[in-house]
Copies of this chain bind each other. A is one copy, B any other.
Amino acid sequence: MLNFEFCSPTKFVFGRDTQQRVGSLVREFGGTRALIVYGGGSVVRSGLLDQVKASLDAAGVYHMELGGVKPNPRSDLVYEGIRICRENQLDFLLPIGGGSAIDTAKAIADGVPYDGDFWDLYTRKAEVKTALPHGCVLTIPAAGSEGSNSSVITKIEGNLKRGLSTEFHRPRFAVMNPELTFTLPRYQLGCGVTDMMAHIMERYFTNTKDVDLTDRLAEALLVSIREAAPRAMADTTDYEAHATLMWAGMLAHNNSVGVGREQDWASHQIGHEISAKYDTAHGASLAIVFPAWMQYVYKHDVKRFVQFATRVWGVDPAGKTDEEIAIAGIHAMQAFFLSLGMPATLEQGGGKAEDIPALAANVVNGRSGNFVKLFPPQIEEILHIASEAK
């Protein structure tokens, strides 16, 4: 186990009707003038936006709105949010939605007090020294941004997708009502489930020894997600299944299961390139990359893949070699992703085999991964495994 720091200070307010507490929560954390950040249709149509505004009004919190956040959220809306906050002296960001809305709000919160282009922070030209506070209302269990220190933004110029992790990115509060996820399209739910599992697996596959405690916690989350997801997909009003996914999605990415161990993140980085180029949904890009990555790396530590196959996917080891058990686990995972409506190949995700060299070359800093270190030639091999064009 490696030395670590862990601090997940967010106040999680979980359960039915909790969106009615937003106004008092903003007040509790010092907000008086809030910018509500959201995507579009569903937050308005469902009446959620009006409920949140009523709660803010009741608490005496002035509010403005910035709608139009898209999946793979882009820099243009961040610039607009920074301008609105500065011109109107807003002091609190209040995203309603999933990772895209929350990550946009985090970037705005970074950018308002920064005397320069916020993108400098995402390219590491400058460091976040202070940020506006933010709290969120979660409607999509997936990105885990409600509890994480991460934000991922795509710069329109150059189509660059970059993530930034800083402790300023931990929300002050997260309102999590599973009922708000009942109306999610099934495809989006499938993407979310894939994303949260990927967050766990990026931490699970490690070279750090003696991490059995966090292994078991990670497996507990994966098994619970595996069991809850089909229920949630089959019955959009199954409160308990949606509640399990919502809470698991947070735990998957607040680093509970990542402490004290080297983490990987190659599949996310490769997936980001696919999303940036084809606007493939983030979860879908992970469903494409992760099985291919596993097939490429499993021999590096077959025992760990055997543990994954038997403890998470219930693979019966009887009569199988370690290698066969490992492969059966990878296949079980891919079959599960397919059952969620996820793409199996680069092409199904909108990509083309001819782009593979460019995708591989574009990965940040020309390298990726820790479990196995990957450079563009290895990333190309992984993308070929993911492609239909063999």
Contact B6 A212 (CB under 8 A): no
Instruction: State how many copies of this chain the complex holds.
Output: 2
Interface SS of A by simple majority:
mixed
Determine whether A372 belongs to the interface, using a CB cutoff of 8 Å to chain B. Answer: no
Contact A14 B7 (CB under 8 A): no
Stretch among A217-225, A301-309, A333-341, A375-383 lining the B interface = A217-225
Q: Point out the residues of chain B lying under 8 angstroms from A16, CB to CB.
A: 3
Contact A227 B244 (CB under 8 A): no
Determine whether A5 belongs to the interface, using a CB cutoff of 8 Å to chain B. Answer: yes
Bound Cα distance A227, B117 (Å): 52
Contact A11 B4 (CB under 8 A): no
Shortest distance from the beta carbon of A223 to any chain B beta carbon, whole Å: 6
| A-B pairs with lowest CB-CB distance, top 4 | A3-B15, A216-B220, A210-B240, A9-B9
Q: Point out the residues of chain B lying under 8 angstroms from A62, CB to CB.
A: none
Q: Point out the residues of chain B lying under 8 angstroms from A13, CB to CB.
A: 5
Q: Which A265-290 residues have a C-beta within 8 angstroms of B?
A: none
Q: Which A183-209 residues have a C-beta within 8 angstroms of B?
A: 209
Shortest distance from the beta carbon of A171 to any chain B beta carbon, whole Å: 11
Bound Cα distance A260, B224 (Å): 15
Q: Point out the residues of chain B lying under 8 angstroms from A310, CB to CB.
A: none
Contact A240 B1 (CB under 8 A): yes
Contact B213 A247 (CB under 8 A): yes
Q: Tell whether A213 pairs with B4 under 8 Å between CB atoms, given A219-B220, A260-B14.
A: no
Contact B224 A213 (CB under 8 A): yes
Q: Which A119-172 residues have a C-beta within 8 angstroms of B?
A: none
Partner of A6, one of B3, B12, B216, B228: B12
